[in-house]
Structure 1
Amino acid sequence: MSALTVSDLNVWFGVGAERAYAVRDVSFDVAKGESFGLVGESGSGKSTILRAIAGLVPTWSGTMVVDGEPLGRRRSKAFYSKVQMVFQDPYASLHPRQTVDRVLSEVMHLHGVKDINTRIARLLDDVGLGSGFRFRYPHQLSGGQRQRVAIARALASGPSILLLDEPTSALDVSVQAEILNLLVDLRSEHDLTYIMVSHDLGVVGHLCERIAVMQQGAFEEVLSVADMRRLEAKSPYTRHLLESSIKSIR
């Protein structure tokens, strides 16, 4: 069964003669428990797709269905219990004047989560921080620790789908590996479905089973990570992209 179905998605910005399409006629399915990657050069439309799914871009057409719920211009409270997003920059995504406890408890209050104290302690353990970080402020945390808090915040409502927008690109290389391994573990432990955006094919290959290669707002090709590693691509653009990243994907 599909966790997410996207059909004929178009996303644009501007009106009238100023309208510019960021995504054109994109369709894909993501099965429950799958990790699906969107890759391509900067400006290819990858992050715009995630933002359209999350309800952060109002100008779109097509069909999007999450766990059997067709999506309209506004998202329901049930949608935000099921779908959460982890953003690229852990320095910008956390409120500088809120403790980790406040960040997590506000999300839980909003979604009616019971036994918040126990839930916060469990979440911090799940993301590898522990209760000692509960009352720290973002400026007291490293980049990797901030991203762990951001992941904990995304998990606070008990979602089944995480939208991951370049979740490691702002981090040091050594920390990137830690966060990727954490995401692998969390997916298994919490039975999560991932839709992940990255420009790094090595990162996508570590976390995903299938990838969609994008160029100028459209899908060039969808292929398995196994085919990606074997450089078995039909599109010349995809082959060029894979060959230029050959060291990172093998």
Structure 2
Amino acid sequence: MSDAGKGKVPALEISNLNVFFGHGESRFQAVKNVSFVLPEGASFGLVGESGSGKSTVLRAITGLVRDWSGTIKVAGSTLGERRETAFYRQVQMVFQDPYASLHPRHTVDRILSEPLRLHRIGDIDRRVLQALDDVGLPRAFRFRYPHQLSGGQRQRVAVARALMLEPRILLLDEPTSALDVSVQAEILNLLTDLRARRGLTYLMVSHDLAVVAHMCEQIAVMRLGEVVEVMGVEQMRQATPEDAYTQELLRASLGYDRDFFSAHMEE
């Protein structure tokens, strides 16, 4: 782990998490005894191929899947079966597809103001305008609809919506995989900047090791629902993982354009 949050209560603790789908003979275990600790202010990556269970971990945390066992703690408090309203003031999620995650018939203004109204938070106009500023969108976009925005602009709206309640933890589910590579770098730079300015904690899911290497200090590699290895990003960059599957995953990722990311990502 990084030194972020050292000596403090961890932002997120997952212990022996198991997640199931289906019933009876068709019941399937998608996540098997997953455990990790995320210090406050850290950025932690879950990587693995499609179907490895990494996104399911995020859905268990947010309560989007109900059939799970184990322990999930946020800021030291153990979560129950249902998520209380206060949970969403602490934890928010940014989904993979920015178009699917935004209501097509709602303006940007309504998308951003709705969480504030649900949680009875005032000063809506100022907060919406500030949110647009924070994610680098012109204020004139306030009354546009998602179909009037580019993919990168839609994902900026999705990030802004996740930040409206001023959470401490963002769960990032492949937040750039639906975007062009040049736009990916812009969104990753935005997320890096927001984390630094707001002291946010990130749990990021990705199949792209290049993305994770730029965003996270520590990485858990998942395969068939299990964590097979946890390593620091420097260990990954030096291509010295211990697990055979991790080595295979790393070799498969070596085709990414290192020069492109070096040119586009901020130090």
Question: TM-score normalised by the shorter chain: which range applies?
Answer: over 0.9
* Pairwise CA distance, 1:190: 1.2
Find the partner of 1:53 among 55, 58, 61.
61
Matched with 1:244 is 252
Matched with 2:28 is 20
Deviation string, structure 1 residues 45-100 (Cα, Å, up to 9, x no partner): 00000000011000000000001221111011110110000000011011111100
SS at match of 1:73: coil
- Name the CA distance, whole Å, in 1 between partners of 2:189 and 2:208: 16
Matched with 2:19 is 11
8 Å contact from structure 1 (residues 201, 249) kept in 2: no
* Pairwise CA distance, 1:10: 0.2
- 1:223 correspondence with 2:217: no
8 Å contact from structure 1 (residues 121, 130) kept in 2: no
SS at match of 2:82: coil
Deviation string, structure 1 residues 2-48 (Cα, Å, up to 9, x no partner): 10000000001011211100000000000000000000000000000
- 1:111 correspondence with 2:119: yes
8 Å contact from structure 1 (residues 37, 211) kept in 2: yes
Matched with 1:170 is 178
SS at match of 1:33: coil
Find the partner of 2:220 among 189, 197, 212.
212
- Name the CA distance, whole Å, in 1 between partners of 2:51 and 2:167: 28
* Pairwise CA distance, 1:244: 1.9
Matched with 2:150 is 142
- Name the CA distance, whole Å, in 1 between partners of 2:153 and 2:257: 26
- 1:191 correspondence with 2:199: yes
Identity of aligned residues (%): 65
Aligned length: 250
8 Å contact from structure 1 (residues 229, 249) kept in 2: no
Question: Which TM-score applies when normalising by structure 1?
Answer: 0.98
Question: Partner amino acid for 1:39?
Answer: V
- Name the CA distance, whole Å, in 2 between partners of 1:142 and 1:113: 29
Note the aligned Cα RMSD (angstroms). Answer: 1.0
* Pairwise CA distance, 1:114: 2.3
Matched with 1:85 is 93
8 Å contact from structure 1 (residues 214, 220) kept in 2: yes
SS at match of 1:134: helix
Matched with 1:30 is 38
Structure 1, unmatched stretches of 5+, are none
- Name the CA distance, whole Å, in 2 between partners of 1:14 and 1:106: 33
- Name the CA distance, whole Å, in 2 between partners of 1:69 and 1:116: 30
After superposition, where does 1:117-156 map in structure 2 within 5 Å?
117-156=125-164
Question: Which TM-score applies when normalising by structure 2?
Answer: 0.92
Matched with 2:78 is 70
Structure 2, unmatched stretches of 5+, are 1-7, 259-267
Deviation string, structure 1 residues 196-235 (Cα, Å, up to 9, x no partner): 0000000001110000000000001000000000011110
Distance 1:19 1:49, change over 3 A: same
SS at match of 2:256: helix
Deviation string, structure 1 residues 119-165 (Cα, Å, up to 9, x no partner): 11111000000211101011110000000000000000110000000
- Name the CA distance, whole Å, in 2 between partners of 1:31 and 1:225: 16
Matched with 2:261 is none
